[in-house]
Structure 1
Amino acid sequence: MSDAASRTSSSRWAGLVFISLAVSLIIVDSTIVNVAVPQIVDELSLSSTQVQWVQEAYTLVFASLLLAFGSLADRVGRRRMLVIGTLIFTVSSLFAALAPSGELLIAARVIQGVGGAMMLPTTLALINATFHGRERGLAFAVWGSTIGGMAAVGPLLGGWLTTAYSWRLAFGINIPLGILIAIGVQVTVAESKDPNARRVDAMSAVLSVITFASLVFGLIEGRTLGWWRIDKPFTIGQWTWPWDLSPVPVAFFLSAIAAGAFIMRGLRRQKAGKSTMLAFDLFRIPSFRNGNLVAMVVSLGEFGIILALPLWLQFVLGFEAVQTGLILLALAGGSFAASALTAPLSGRIPPPTMVRWGLVAEIVGIVGLAVMVHPDANWVTLLPGLFVYGLGVGLATAQLTGVVLTDVPVTQSGQGSGTQSTARQVGSALGIAILGTILFTVTGGILAADLADKGVPSDQAKQVVSAVVDSAGAAIPGLRGSPTTAPLAAAAEDAFSTGTRLAAFSAAAFLALGLLATGSLRTRRPQVSARDDEDAQPTPEDVPATE
């Protein structure tokens, strides 16, 4: 008797609970760090570049490995990959919680990225293989709403743990949750794999890692090292970059070459009938091709602003971490409200239309939020924008997932899910890098100009600008606390607020591009079809593998 046949409907839904918890663990960890950053900066003396790398080291490795692990999961088993990834994520969380320095914390985040990359695509693939017909749409909605809601619950949980205990518990909380998820998935989720899956192309995996790693490196380090000529020594261990040309354009060039080689190799192998890292044939499916493009652009706008807002709330407005988390809870409220709307509307409104509604709500919310960002802002005025933004995230994320995977054959669930997850994570990595660069570059430029207008001596002005930018704003409360530097603190608050506001407007612009890109998504009214009825029961290719 197959593993799938022995499991009841209630067991499948219980499995969805643990799959959603796994998604929650990944998303919460990517956002929980934001409100803990100020304490981490103080204790580990992080620079602003290290602050970005605490986020990006995770996102960079995460995005780079999603394709590889999505394909590998089809071969070795999706449940097995999810459990192994959860255990790696749990152990690396322990290392992060005990990290004595910024460098070791970043290293732990790298390992977390490996575990997360094993987890995320397999959660989608398992849903795609386990649920059918109308149930599949509902399961995707639960998955998508979980992402939106947890993106806001993370800061609240991180704020409470950081304020009441220590930032280290923001990572330590993953340990018991990870163990619970690993056991729950093993007990309630049926194993599934593609019996025809072939070996993963190792060279393509290396090329994909080089492509994404070098691209994000260039975006993060551009403002520090220089976009063309090197402005600051670049050292790795005992080796220092010896040329006047910045490593940033070299990284961009390397990324372009690796991307080209990845595509050419994949197309050549596909033509020869060999295994490919990316399922290029899936891009012949309009919903898959267009949906992934939209997902990448939308993620760029959605998650980039999450870096700037907690920093501004704490360093400029002076809120504690737990207070910041409570304010951001309005975003979670909007996302969970969206999940309540999804079920009654999904049978009457075409998914692409709901995606567009969600994006419009996101744009309205984030523009409203940007307008309210100034040094003497009242937290109450921020809540409507956060709620509307969260409502949009919940609507767009849940429905977009279903649009992308709706026509993907179940036997290619891992590759399809890995591709979609990669598109999202590349978008979020670019968003954090680009909007982080906007935030700190604008802050430094405006602060320098303001201090010059005030007649502050050049050397002192450079020190203040460097302190504010390199500390990611953490120096502002110190400036505010001294009567002699209070006027400088006011200038820093204005500059950081302007940087945050422009980062928010930039995020809205990217979301507007995503909205335009949804014009390529087919709009068709949901209806009960013969295929829906057939999907209510697993087809032979849908049945998960026996144990």
Structure 2
Amino acid sequence: MATPSETGSLPPGRFVRYRWWGLLAISLGVAMIIMDATIVSVSIPSIVADLGISSTEIQWVQEIYTLLFAALLLTWGRIADRVGRRRVMLTGVVIFVAASLLCAAASSGSILILGRAVQGLGGSMILPTTLALLNANFQGRERGIAFAVWGSTIGGMAAVGPLVGGWLTEHASWRWAFGINVPVGVVILAGLLLFVAESKEEISSAAQRLDLGGALLSIVGFGSLVFGLIEGRSFGWWRPADDALLQVGPLSPVPLAFLLAAVALVCFVLLERRRTNEGKGVILDLSLFRIPSFANGNVTALIVSFGEFGLILSLPLWFQNVLGYSAFQAGLALLPLALGSFLASGGVTSLARIFRPVVVVRMGLGLEILAIASLALLIAPDSTAWLTSPILLVYGMGVGLATAQLTSVILADVPVAKSGQGSATQSTARQTGSALGIAVLGTAFFTTLRNGTEDRVADAVANAPQLAGVVDSVNATSGGSIQALAADPQTAFIADAAREAMTDGASLASWIAAAALLVGLLSSLRIRQAASTVPGGSGPAGTPSGGSEPSGAASPGQEK
């Protein structure tokens, strides 16, 4: 027999009365894992000074978290449907907090990398279950509000992470960038136990056995894909980079990773199709992609995530290395993005009463495109936060409107019993898009920095070849040497050239991000058209699917 949340009614007792406290606990869980993905970036110089880790170890400290996080999302989403979403989230929080303690106490780069890997494991258990729990514990207009808070938390915490990390690094220690997760984790655990109802899928005996083959193929497929996207700039996209530590004969490992990903994911789809036809349990129910809003919404989410990471990638470096801000000041400069995202969450409820969720998504994407294109057009080496703050505020409002409502659109017609799979799928789409965005935008940003700096000082280097190593240091430190070069009158002209080149790189990355968001906006046009063609479809609450409801009926995620 299905649990109350599977049948579409809310669970009884205190879980209904205190469901908004439950929303707070779930949102804190999202905040913890999203913030931790960005909080470390501003702490890296202090970590290097304290532990003396190599550039390769620095890279893996940042990237092992994302790699394991993205690879395991789909598997944990399905396991959560089977054994209980709250149970999996509780386990994930415990693992994440324990890993944070390991990171905070790390005495070497290898221990820190291990801790970050375990954090990625815990985070992959938390994110898909947060959405599934919201889908099961809220209905109608309240579900739309819950999704709005969830989406704004993602957008806001991505910007708050550098602020918190910068403050802790400057006023305490980089170790507190991890240690802060301990008290937060305790609050999350208490909130989940007290205020969030358990929910899981009731399955037939034929589907009892877990799809181990599908789990393995999805982990290998998505893990290899994200590895290739993240490491392409470091190892080389085809041929090995000059300083690459890993190569396979004449090739970089990146194309082989992409080949492995393609083979694994094709085999994954074939296996899931066969098991579905045989009535066996699967990691991903491919029938979900027959729901137009789900299929088209995931494509849009992937494209939008590609574009949205343009600012988060390049702006912290630009603030610190071009404008000379400290880590904390750079975090403050990014704060308007978070404020805009949270402001939008307050207004999205009113908008949802007037407009369909997909229309709110398009409004948000329009604001994002306007803001990021303005930034690409206006930033200069002598810009200040007075220029960027209003732009980031508008951008954050766009993120707040688009992220939550896009989630609402994707999950609107997904049965609650399959919400773990649906949530994990959309989270995987977003993570894949983010990794792709980091790869493409990072390559554009750093290539422009290197080439632009070299071109501007080419004549000086030709006359004084010993300066070539100084110029190379700009790229090797991702612009971190600019301030030191500026302090020396003999190399100040190189610093000026690097500032201009880094600004050009940030502008180019922003233009690419704006173009990707425009493609995402165009892709969102398919969602309404596809959903409106479903004859007599119904969402989890019995609402007509897509846009076919009669006048005055509630759209998915809304009430009349």
Q: TM-score, normalised by structure 2?
A: 0.89
Greater CA drift, 359-368 or 516-525: 516-525
In structure 2, the CA distance between the partners of 1:215 and 1:344, relative to structure 1 (3 Å rule), is same
Residues of 1 paired with 2:496 and 2:15: CA distance? 62
In structure 2, the CA distance between the partners of 1:157 and 1:231, relative to structure 1 (3 Å rule), is closer
Q: How does 1:253-268 map to 2 (within 5 A)?
A: 253-268=259-274
Alignment match, 1:104: 111
Q: Deviation of residue 56 (structure 1)? A: 2.7
Alignment match, 1:544: none
Greater CA drift, 26-35 or 340-349: 26-35
Check the 8 A contact 2:85/2:129 in 1, yes or no: yes
Instruction: Extract unaligned runs of 5+ from structure 2.
Output: 6-10, 530-546
Please say if 1:474 is aligned against 2:484. no
In structure 2, the CA distance between the partners of 1:506 and 1:2, relative to structure 1 (3 Å rule), is closer
Q: Deviation of residue 376 (structure 1)? A: 1.4
Alignment match, 1:198: 208
Alignment match, 2:536: none
Question: Looking at both structures, which has the greater relative contact order when contacts are Cα pairs under 8 Å and sequence separation is at least 6?
Answer: 1
Alignment match, 1:86: 93
Q: How does 1:352-371 map to 2 (within 5 A)?
A: 352-371=358-377
Please say if 1:166 is aligned against 2:173. yes
Check the 8 A contact 1:98/1:168 in 2, yes or no: yes
Please say if 1:434 is aligned against 2:444. no
Greater CA drift, 45-54 or 181-190: 45-54
Amino acid at match of 2:435: A
In structure 2, the CA distance between the partners of 1:516 and 1:531, relative to structure 1 (3 Å rule), is closer
Please say if 1:501 is aligned against 2:507. yes
Alignment match, 2:517: 511
Deviations 1:100-129 (A, max 9, x none): 444433332221111011001111111111
Check the 8 A contact 1:349/1:525 in 2, yes or no: no
Residues of 2 paired with 1:118 and 1:481: CA distance? 47
Please say if 1:277 is aligned against 2:283. yes
Please say if 1:69 is aligned against 2:79. no
Check the 8 A contact 2:360/2:401 in 1, yes or no: yes
Q: Report the RMSD for the aligned CA atoms in angstroms.
A: 2.5
Q: Deviation of residue 45 (structure 1)? A: 5.5
Residues of 2 paired with 1:532 and 1:362: CA distance? 24
Residues of 1 paired with 2:517 and 2:55: CA distance? 26
In structure 2, the CA distance between the partners of 1:261 and 1:164, relative to structure 1 (3 Å rule), is same
Q: In structure 2, the residue corresponding to 1:99 is in which secondary structure?
A: coil
Greater CA drift, 385-394 or 131-140: 131-140
Residues of 2 paired with 1:147 and 1:228: CA distance? 34
Check the 8 A contact 1:41/1:474 in 2, yes or no: no
Q: In structure 1, the residue corresponding to 2:238 is in which secondary structure?
A: coil
Q: Deviation of residue 92 (structure 1)? A: 1.1
Q: How many residues align?
A: 532
Q: Deviation of residue 394 (structure 1)? A: 0.2
Alignment match, 2:378: 372
Alignment match, 1:26: 33
Please say if 1:214 is aligned against 2:214. no
Q: Deviation of residue 225 (structure 1)? A: 2.8
Residues of 2 paired with 1:100 and 1:504: CA distance? 38
The sequence identity of aligned pairs, in percent, is: 53
Q: In structure 2, the residue corresponding to 1:521 is in which secondary structure?
A: helix
Greater CA drift, 293-302 or 429-438: 429-438
Check the 8 A contact 2:471/2:494 in 1, yes or no: no
Check the 8 A contact 1:220/1:434 in 2, yes or no: no
Residues of 2 paired with 1:461 and 1:387: CA distance? 41
Q: Deviation of residue 347 (structure 1)? A: 1.1
Check the 8 A contact 2:83/2:200 in 1, yes or no: yes
In structure 2, the CA distance between the partners of 1:494 and 1:44, relative to structure 1 (3 Å rule), is farther
Alignment match, 1:395: 401
Amino acid at match of 2:477: S
Q: How does 1:110-509 map to 2 (within 5 A)?
A: 110-196=117-203, 198-232=208-242, 234-235=244-245, 241=247, 243-456=249-462, 460-509=466-515
Check the 8 A contact 1:145/1:336 in 2, yes or no: yes
Residues of 1 paired with 2:62 and 2:306: CA distance? 14
Residues of 2 paired with 1:535 and 1:199: CA distance? 38
Residues of 1 paired with 2:44 and 2:243: CA distance? 25
Check the 8 A contact 2:461/2:468 in 1, yes or no: no
Greater CA drift, 266-275 or 33-42: 33-42
Q: TM-score, normalised by structure 1?
A: 0.91
Amino acid at match of 2:447: T
In structure 2, the CA distance between the partners of 1:459 and 1:279, relative to structure 1 (3 Å rule), is farther
Q: Deviation of residue 467 (structure 1)? A: 1.8
Check the 8 A contact 2:353/2:558 in 1, yes or no: no
Q: Deviation of residue 421 (structure 1)? A: 1.0
Residues of 1 paired with 2:485 and 2:298: CA distance? 45
Amino acid at match of 1:33: V
Residues of 2 paired with 1:43 and 1:475: CA distance? 19
Alignment match, 1:541: none
Check the 8 A contact 2:15/2:196 in 1, yes or no: no
Amino acid at match of 1:88: I
Q: Deviation of residue 51 (structure 1)? A: 5.1
In structure 2, the CA distance between the partners of 1:206 and 1:459, relative to structure 1 (3 Å rule), is farther
Q: In structure 1, the residue corresponding to 2:14 is in which secondary structure?
A: coil
Q: Deviation of residue 49 (structure 1)? A: 6.3
Deviations 1:137-172 (A, max 9, x none): 221122112222222222222222122122221111
Q: Deviation of residue 245 (structure 1)? A: 2.0
Check the 8 A contact 1:282/1:288 in 2, yes or no: yes
Q: In structure 2, the residue corresponding to 1:347 is in which secondary structure?
A: helix
Check the 8 A contact 1:34/1:306 in 2, yes or no: no
Greater CA drift, 242-251 or 253-262: 242-251
In structure 2, the CA distance between the partners of 1:45 and 1:319, relative to structure 1 (3 Å rule), is farther
Alignment match, 1:542: none
Q: In structure 1, the residue corresponding to 2:283 is in which secondary structure?
A: coil
Deviations 1:281-313 (A, max 9, x none): 100001111111111111111124312111111
Greater CA drift, 421-430 or 32-41: 32-41
